[in-house]
A and B are shown apart, each in its own frame.
Chain A
């Protein structure tokens, strides 16, 4: 089977974890990948831990990233690193939001999209598809702000 990229997002309810995974799934879909995305709604909306799985490749079977199967773990809240890191492959990569200069963001709520900018350095998805996915997933008045956040994340180095 050709490579499947497994990405797990982790954070707390209200941080935009699911929105970030929606934008990634959309960008991957626009790039022509097969894509599957899984998460649990409900109780987790009330400030609890939230994770969302996105898988992309030529053919994806299960929508859930297998145990210890994540290539990349995107952490939106540092306290969730410990909870979510058992999901990671031994050689997997953690992208922690602490590397983003929060003060440089146009708005604290754009941290999720800034993390997508950082993630974009590791995935075969073009900026044009990312931008289109942001346009498709957010209301128009938020586009510019999120393009800026995406670019800040993309230019952040680990």
Chain B
């Protein structure tokens, strides 16, 4: 795109994709989640082997398998996706890997498009997994090589933390270099390393702690710590996007830029702190590095609690460094997003509104059913929670209210983590029954129209087995399953909702109509599937 071959203007996500290709990543796998989604899409466009999984846990497990076979694997997800993948993450730290495993996690401080602003650096500490953090697209490219090398050298998974402003900001990148494969892909049996029964897991935990000790010692002298000595009045320790803000906010301060945030190179940080009159850690989210310093007896100044909330920018960093009470003020609110005009979800929400239902919601475009004029979502917690939360309400509410509870969940979210909710529904049946509405718009719309197992197409839109939602729902043992187009016959849709709610049975309505934004593209993909060898036809 108008860039020279090697010098380009790239988003952080694009830069990671280029690096993954140059680092010979054998498989990139994940689940879409803003702001991480475009990494795998770009990796695929560049010719990399990229896949969407049903959810982040499965994606990480597949990536672990690749790395057990001495391959190079990259798993991508947003911060809350790492909660889903946390189970394999913690134990993969014990087993270690024989190839490379880089787990890319994109945080969303300020919650541009997320339900919380949790700080993934806590996971690095909790699981005992090294964490690297780029501060712009150039580093997003360069540092991925370091992550792969670190993973292969210490046979340990590596967390690669991005944030919204790293993922989506475009900065100039000089592309270059590659990382040739070291290992031949092969499975070598090593039961004691990989089978985490207690007898083998106890020594594995000790091995992990030994690796972390070695990595910490290595980090002290590695080029993952950059010190720019400047004035002596103020020293700033920072990482990620905060480093970019800090260099602009305090051009005369001395700067220690961390590209590794776990384990921390504490001795280098201690020397730096003692070389200046006052020292502060500039960081977005929780005061993780600040706490690390204070626990180690490094006398950094404590930040105000207000910086735990939201994103930083140059202005906020200036206030933070001044040590004066910050003058936090928010501007006038912008226009909130809405369900698109003509969106098929609109019909469902207007009916739920009219029926005065108690609606447990989920994560996706349809969460916007909370906005006016519908105001037809009463809860939203995490992926898949609509069903469990709805069942909990059904179990304890007085019958009259319980009969009004409806769970709504999107098609991609249902495959991600709604299936086990349905199993719970048939296993612990509420006495008033329950109604789950799968809002099937045939795509993962909110994150930008990604494929999923029930679209029947892989990440690059090629045909694969299509998970049939009505079949799986019936097979689980739901009493009544209806598949309806809410747009085509609103009356029938409304009557079905009412009769299902009155039936006191376990019911699922699949409200199926493709997202308006996706419909055209879906037609093109389907046409390609029907005549895959177009070039052999005609003439």
A62 on the B face (CB < 8 A): yes
- State whether B334 touches A48 (Cβ < 8 A): yes
B314 on the A face (CB < 8 A): yes
Tell me the bound Cα distance from A25 to B448 in angstroms: 23
Residue in B172, B337, B447 whose CB lies within 8 Å of A44: B337
| A48-B337, A132-B2 given; 16 more Cβ-contact pairs under 8 Å | A29-B172, A37-B9, A40-B113, A40-B168, A41-B112, A41-B113, A42-B446, A44-B337, A46-B368, A60-B171, A61-B248, A62-B313, A80-B335, A82-B332, A83-B331, A137-B1
Which of A13, A36, A133 has the largest count of B CB atoms less than 10 A from its CB? Answer: A36
Q: Inside 8 A of A83's CB, which chain B residues have their CB?
A: 331-335
- State whether A1 touches B251 (Cβ < 8 A): yes
In the complex, which residue of chain A has the Cβ closest to the Cβ of B111? Answer: A43
Residue in B169, B247, B248, B336 whose CB lies within 8 Å of A48: B336
Tell me the bound Cα distance from A61 to B242 in angstroms: 10
Min CB distance B492 to A, Å, is 28
Known contacts A29-B172, A36-B171, A62-B245; A67/B2 CB under 8 A:
no
Tell me the bound Cα distance from A136 to B8 in angstroms: 12
B315 on the A face (CB < 8 A): yes
B34 on the A face (CB < 8 A): yes
Tell me the bound Cα distance from A37 to B171 in angstroms: 7
B244 on the A face (CB < 8 A): yes
Q: Inside 8 A of A41's CB, which chain B residues have their CB?
A: 34-35, 112-113, 168, 448
Known contacts A26-B2, A35-B172, A62-B245; A42/B332 CB under 8 A:
no
Min CB distance B44 to A, Å, is 18
B365 on the A face (CB < 8 A): yes
- State whether A67 touches B313 (Cβ < 8 A): yes
Min CB distance B5 to A, Å, is 14
- 6 A–B contacts from the bound complex (CB under 8 Å): A22-B170, A35-B171, A37-B171, A40-B168, A48-B334, A64-B314
Residue in B9, B248, B313 whose CB lies within 8 Å of A25: B9
A39-64 Cβ-contact flags toward B at 8 Å (1 or 0): 11111111111010000000011111
Tell me the bound Cα distance from A42 to B13 in angstroms: 15
A38 on the B face (CB < 8 A): yes
Tell me the bound Cα distance from A29 to B245 in angstroms: 21
A8-25 Cβ-contact flags toward B at 8 Å (1 or 0): 000011000000001001
Tell me the bound Cα distance from A62 to B244 in angstroms: 5
B179 on the A face (CB < 8 A): no
Tell me the bound Cα distance from A82 to B112 in angstroms: 20
Secondary structure call for the A interface: mixed
A contacts, CB < 8 Å to B:
1, 12-13, 22, 25-26, 29-30, 34-49, 51, 60-64, 66-69, 79-80, 82-83, 86-87, 132-133, 135-137
- State whether B314 touches A62 (Cβ < 8 A): yes
B339 on the A face (CB < 8 A): yes
Known contacts A29-B172, A63-B136; A47/B337 CB under 8 A:
yes
In the complex, which residue of chain A has the Cβ closest to the Cβ of B447? Answer: A42
- State whether B315 touches A67 (Cβ < 8 A): yes
- State whether A37 touches B244 (Cβ < 8 A): no
B164 on the A face (CB < 8 A): yes
5 nearest CB pairs, A to B: A49-B334, A42-B113, A136-B2, A48-B337, A46-B337
In the complex, which residue of chain A has the Cβ closest to the Cβ of B248? Answer: A61
In the complex, which residue of chain A has the Cβ closest to the Cβ of B338? Answer: A47
Tell me the bound Cα distance from A129 to B265 in angstroms: 45
Q: Inside 8 A of B397's CB, which chain A residues have their CB?
A: none
In the complex, which residue of chain A has the Cβ closest to the Cβ of B8? Answer: A29
- State whether A64 touches B165 (Cβ < 8 A): yes
B contacts, CB < 8 Å to A:
1-3, 9, 34-35, 112-113, 136, 164-165, 168-172, 241, 244-245, 247-248, 251, 313-316, 331-340, 365, 368, 446-448
Min CB distance B324 to A, Å, is 16
Q: Inside 8 A of A64's CB, which chain B residues have their CB?
A: 165, 169, 245, 313-314
In the complex, which residue of chain B has the Cβ closest to the Cβ of A45? Answer: B337
- State whether B34 touches A136 (Cβ < 8 A): no
Q: Inside 8 A of A30's CB, which chain B residues have their CB?
A: 2
Tell me the bound Cα distance from A137 to B447 in angstroms: 22
Tell me the bound Cα distance from A135 to B2 in angstroms: 8
Min CB distance B154 to A, Å, is 32
Min CB distance A3 to B, Å, is 14
Min CB distance A132 to B, Å, is 6
Min CB distance B133 to A, Å, is 15
Q: Inside 8 A of B333's CB, which chain A residues have their CB?
A: 83
- State whether B164 touches A40 (Cβ < 8 A): yes
Min CB distance B446 to A, Å, is 7
Tell me the bound Cα distance from A137 to B365 in angstroms: 28
Min CB distance A50 to B, Å, is 8
Tell me the bound Cα distance from A56 to B9 in angstroms: 12
In the complex, which residue of chain B has the Cβ closest to the Cβ of A13? Answer: B337
Tell me the bound Cα distance from A108 to B331 in angstroms: 30
- State whether B313 touches A136 (Cβ < 8 A): no
Tell me the bound Cα distance from A29 to B172 in angstroms: 8
In the complex, which residue of chain A has the Cβ closest to the Cβ of B251? Answer: A1
Tell me the bound Cα distance from A40 to B313 in angstroms: 14
- State whether A66 touches B165 (Cβ < 8 A): no
Min CB distance A6 to B, Å, is 11
Q: Inside 8 A of B168's CB, which chain A residues have their CB?
A: 38-41
Residue in A34, A39, A133 whose CB lies within 8 Å of B2: A133
In the complex, which residue of chain B has the Cβ closest to the Cβ of A39? Answer: B168
Q: Inside 8 A of A45's CB, which chain B residues have their CB?
A: 337, 448
Q: Inside 8 A of B251's CB, which chain A residues have their CB?
A: 1
Q: Inside 8 A of A135's CB, which chain B residues have their CB?
A: 2
Min CB distance A47 to B, Å, is 5
Min CB distance A40 to B, Å, is 4
Min CB distance B284 to A, Å, is 12
In the complex, which residue of chain B has the Cβ closest to the Cβ of A66? Answer: B314
Tell me the bound Cα distance from A33 to B78 in angstroms: 32
Tell me the bound Cα distance from A149 to B171 in angstroms: 27
Residue in A36, A39, A47, A69 whose CB lies within 8 Å of B314: A69
Min CB distance B174 to A, Å, is 12
- State whether B331 touches A86 (Cβ < 8 A): yes
Tell me the bound Cα distance from A151 to B500 in angstroms: 60
Tell me the bound Cα distance from A46 to B364 in angstroms: 12
